[in-house]
Amino acid sequence: MERVPGWAAILAAAALGAGIGAAVAAGGHAQYKAEAEVVVQAKGGPGIVRPLLPNLRELATSSILAGNVDSTLRLPGSPDSLRKRLHASVAPGSQVIVLSVTDRHRDRARQIAQEAAVVFAQLVQARFRTPALKAAVLDPAHVVSHRGRHFGRDALLGAAIGLALALAALLALRRAPVAAPTDEKLAARERQLQERIALVTKRERELAKRAGGLAKRERALQAREDEARRDEAAPSKPRPEPAPAAEPVPEPTPAPAAPEPAPLQRRGGAWNLNDLERLVAAKQDAPAERMEEWRTYVFFLRDHAGIDGELPSSFDPLVEDVFADLVQAG
């Protein structure tokens, strides 16, 4: 057999690497990133909004926002997958929330970002009533970046990798002398091959024998379990009645069932955040969206509660509105 020249093998490896790189690029997908900006304002000025920016950013990527956007645009996939592609950040030194989303289609990325900004502005005004916040779309959605398929770059990278591997293999072959196999070596290799075949056959027989033993044990175990079930299902023999005791022992009175937690009332004329938090934790049968809304407001109110959990009277309308299912207005 004629040997392939070294340079021909190198060129073949480079061509193969270029082909693999082009195939990888063809299998990829283009990604478009769109952004929209929403400004949040309050009557008290920036000092009222800045402490709430972390909560506003969490609201911008919440499941409620993703579900509303998905139901409006009827996007492919689930709202959870859309939520993973939504991102929100706060512009440095401002009250602007930047919402961004990535998608494989340019127009759909812009539509999702615009709808997310509109829904976010509505949620801000609906959720943040004390203090009252207002949000408006500052900059409409637009595409800011595009990551497409790079056929040329991936093909060149694959060609370079194939060239490097071919050169390394060629150098290794030149350093190691190739000796022509003799008849004795061929015979030795055939004997080794036959021994390996016999060894594999022996192991397969042993495995088959073990498998048969395990199957037999499993059948015996199943038979014992069936017999135990039949014994349990069979009616038990009547036992002789014991002799009457000298004095009857009164049966213990069953403990009364724990009543459900009553609606929370004001303590000392004010609402207490600790009591609200306990009621939220005990309300396990509430919908997931309602539980997430309660926990968000509990987290927000923690910054305004006193050491003992007492809330200022200015938060009474907010507590009675948001926690209406848990509290009882006084």
The answer to whether 120 and 36 have CB atoms below 8 angstroms apart is no
* pLDDT for the residue 37: 96
CA–CA distance, 216 with 210 (Å, rounded to integer)? 10
Mean pLDDT calculated for residue range 28-38:
87
pLDDT of residue 68: 94
CATH homologous superfamily of 29-147 equals: EIF_2_alpha (3.30.70.1130)
What is the average pLDDT across 165-189?
A: 70
**Which two three-digit tokens encode residue 221?**
């175990």
Give the pair of three-digit tokens for residue 314. Answer: 């200015």
Span 299-327, average pLDDT: 87
Overall pTM surpassing 0.75 (yes/no): no
Least confident piece of the model among 23-32, 52-61, 70-79:
23-32
Q: pLDDT tier at 59 (50, 70, 90 boundaries)?
A: very high
Instruction: Count other C-beta atoms under 10 Å from residue 22's C-beta.
Output: 19
Taking 90 as the threshold, does the pLDDT of residue 61 lie above it?
A: yes
What tokens were used for 224? 């014992």
Residues with Cβ < 8 Å from 297, sequence gap 6 or more?
318, 322, 323
- Specify the pLDDT at position 330: 46
| CB contact set of 191 (below 8 Å; sequence gap of 6+) | none
Give the model's confidence band at 62: pLDDT under 50 very low, under 70 low, under 90 confident, else very high.
very high
Q: What is the pLDDT of residues 242-261, one digit of tens each?
A: 555 555 555 555 544 444 55
Residue at token pair 């938090």: 277
For the segment 115-152, what is each residue's pLDDT rounded down to a tens digit?
999 999 999 999 998 888 999 999 999 999 988 655 56
For residue 122, is it left (φ>0), alpha (ψ between -120 and 50) or beta? alpha
Residues found in the chain: 330
